[in-house]
Amino acid sequence: MNFMTEAMAQAAFWIVVGLTLAGAVIAVFPRNIVYNVLGLVLALTGVAGLYVFLGSMFIGLMQLLIYVGAICVAIVFAIMLSRPLHLEVPQRKLPKVLLAAMASCLFAIALIGVSLRTAWKPAAERGTDWSVATIGELLLTRYDLVFEVISLVLLVAILGAIVTAGFSRRLTS
């Protein structure tokens, strides 16, 4: 019985990993922008599943709420507001595509090499307090300055978005 649940958890893990990577591939390669957004939704949902496997249900739900619920919907709105967006852009020249592929492959291989060759050592004593209450308490005590600054950044970003999008409409029409 125990073996069965173990095998099922393993299968679920690899399915989630496959969904994440497939979503990332769909988000980058097709030339139709709507497919890209749907691939992004798939990849972000897979990442939320990975967070659950990493032991944090809370961050997984936050990922679904913020990324899939807010950012992806905002991107879909932007696509709908700029209509001829899904028209084809002329193809990039082949040498540029090759250079980009080589650069990113090199970067990913270097990252994987570093992470495999380093001997990671866990901290000497590790806490076991995974509760959301601790996160909230730390947010309001030790990290309160960062918390406030991020609130300010969000406020400025929202005002800036309204001003940028609104003023340009007034100027053109």
Partner 1 sequence: MNTLSTYLIIAALLFGLGLLGVLQRRNLIGMLISIELMLNGANINFMAFNRFLAPEPAVGQIITLFVMGLAAAEAAIGLSIILALFRKFRSINVERAQQMRG
Min separation Cβ 171 and partner 1, Å: 8
Residue 163 C-beta: closest distance to partner 1, Å = 8
**128 lines the binding site for partner 1 (CB under 8 A):** yes
Chosen residue from 1, 94, 119, 123 binding partner 1 by CB under 8 A: 123
Two structure tokens written together for 166: 């609104």
Token pair, residue 21, equals: 């990577």
Identity of the residue, 3 or 130, whose beta carbon is nearer to partner 1 in the bound complex: 130
Tell the residue number behind the tokens 């979503």, with chain if given.
Answer: 23
- Cα–Cα distances (Å) from 26 to 13, 20, 42, 46, 70, in that order, read 20, 10, 9, 13, 20
Nearest approach, Cβ of residue 150 and partner 1 (Å): 5
> d(Cα 100, Cα 94) in Å, to the nearest integer?
10
The angle formed by the CA atoms of residues 68, 73 and 75, to the nearest 5 degrees, is 110
Sole binder of partner 1 in the list 8, 61, 100, 148 (CB under 8 A): 100
Residue that is written with structure tokens 């959301």 in the block: 132
Binding mask 25-64 for partner 1 (x = CB under 8 A): x-xx----x--xx--x--xx--x--xx-xxxx-xx--xx-
Q: How far is the CB of 48 from partner 1 (least distance, A)?
A: 10
Residue from 21, 61, 144, 148 binding partner 1 (CB under 8 A): 21
Distant-in-sequence, close-in-space partners of 60: CB < 8 Å, separation ≥ 6: 48, 49, 51, 52
Question: Can residue 140 be called a binding residue for partner 1 (CB under 8 A)?
Answer: no
Q: Taking Cα atoms as reference points, which of 9, 17, 61, 10 lies closest to residue 42?
A: 17
Q: Is 22 in the site for partner 1 (CB under 8 A)?
A: no
Site string for partner 1, 58-97 (x = CB under 8 A): xx--xx--xx--xx--xx-xxx-xx-xx---x--x---xx
